[in-house]
Structure formats: structure tokens, C-alpha cells
Amino acid sequence: MNITNAEFVTSGTRPAHFPPAEFPEVAFAGRSNVGKSSLINILVNRKSLVRTSSTPGRTQLINFFLVNGSLMLVDLPGYGFAKVPLAVKKEWGPMVETYLSTRTNLGCVVLILDVRRIPTEEDQLMLQWLRAYNVPVLVVVTKCDKVSKNERARQAAVIARTMGLSSDEMAFFSALSKEGRDVVWAKIEAILAA
């Protein structure tokens, strides 16, 4: 994907806030701090279009970014972080679920997992839920710079088994080295074209 332009469009918590559903859309989901916002920045070749943070729970709204005037990337708030205030946590489920279940132009959800972790029950539920709603999913295993090649292969097997994934449904990525950027784009484009 050749990026000529990427811009923040809007953010919100419910459909009335969302931009018109006029472009194909790709949403990025995963637990807090897994690297969703970092992945989007690398995909669009921008250091800080999307705010990233070492503090989990940074992204609390649904943020929309338009790429090349023709594709919307959507940064979803992360799940599974205990220290997020209760009021925010209570809103997360309905907010993300409403988005995912009603967004008519949603063409793909990129579900992001940390290469060092065993996927949580929430990760598994998210995948099952997306499949139940027939949303095409790409799983991106990120932070690959943090492990050796051997460890990556070991973890890939654990992740595939825990999540019930085949290897072509997974892509490996690092926001630090940018490894996997082109593969992630190619897989997203293939899913959107299917």
C-alpha cells in the first residue's frame, strides 16, 4: 500500500459520532497496551498520527483515520486492563460491540496479540465473537522484536492452538523494526478484496 495521505477524522463512543460509512473500514482490536496504535502508525508511515503510550488504557474513544482519502482505519480502545476506571470499563463492552455489530462498511478486524503472551480468555472471546458476526479477521502477532526466532516459533504454535487459528490467518509484526508491515497490508488488502 502506497500511502499518500493519512489524517485523523474524528473520535466518538456511539454511532451518532461516527463518520458516514462511505469508505471500506479496517478496525484494530486487542488488549490494552498490546500495540494497536503503534501498528496503525507504522502502517500509515507516521510517527505519531495515533497517540501511543506506555500507560495501558490510553485509547478510550473509537478513533477514525482516513488513508489516501479512500480507506478508514479505526483504532479501538483496548480491553482487559484492570486499572481503567470502572465507569470507562462499563462503557467499553457496549461501545465496541455496538461499533463492531452495526458498522456496515466494516471489512476487516485486525486482532492484535503480544508474541510473548498466552492469549487471554478475552482474546479468545473477541475472536469467537467476530467469527459469530462473520467479520473477516486478521490476527497480527506483534512486539516480535522482543523475542528470538526460536521463541517466536514456539509462541506462534501456542497462540495458534489457543486461538484455533491456521498459520495463514496470522501475521508477525514489530513496530520497532517495522518487520511485517508489507505483509500486514497485503493481507488486509486481500481480505478487503475478497
Residues that bind ligand GTP (CB under 6 A): 30, 32-38, 52-54, 56-59, 78, 142-143, 145-146, 174-176
CA atoms of 19 and 66, how far apart (whole Å): 10
Contact partner, 33, from Mg ion, ligand GTP, none, Cβ < 5-8 Å per class: ligand GTP
- The strand pair at 106-114 and 137-142 is best described as parallel
Q: Are 156 and 141 a contacting pair, CB within 8 Å?
A: yes
Report the residue number whose CB is nearest to ligand GTP: 78
Shortest Å distance, C-beta 32 to Mg ion: 8
* DSSP strands (E only) in 17-132: 25-30, 62-67, 71-75, 106-114
Shortest Å distance, C-beta 141 to Mg ion: 17
End-to-end CA distance of the chain, in Å? 17
Cell 465507569 appears where?
87
Contact partner, 57, from Mg ion, ligand GTP, none, Cβ < 5-8 Å per class: ligand GTP
Shortest Å distance, C-beta 114 to Mg ion: 14
Q: Are 65 and 73 a contacting pair, CB within 8 Å?
A: yes
Contact partner, 119, from Mg ion, ligand GTP, none, Cβ < 5-8 Å per class: none
Shortest Å distance, C-beta 64 to ligand GTP: 15
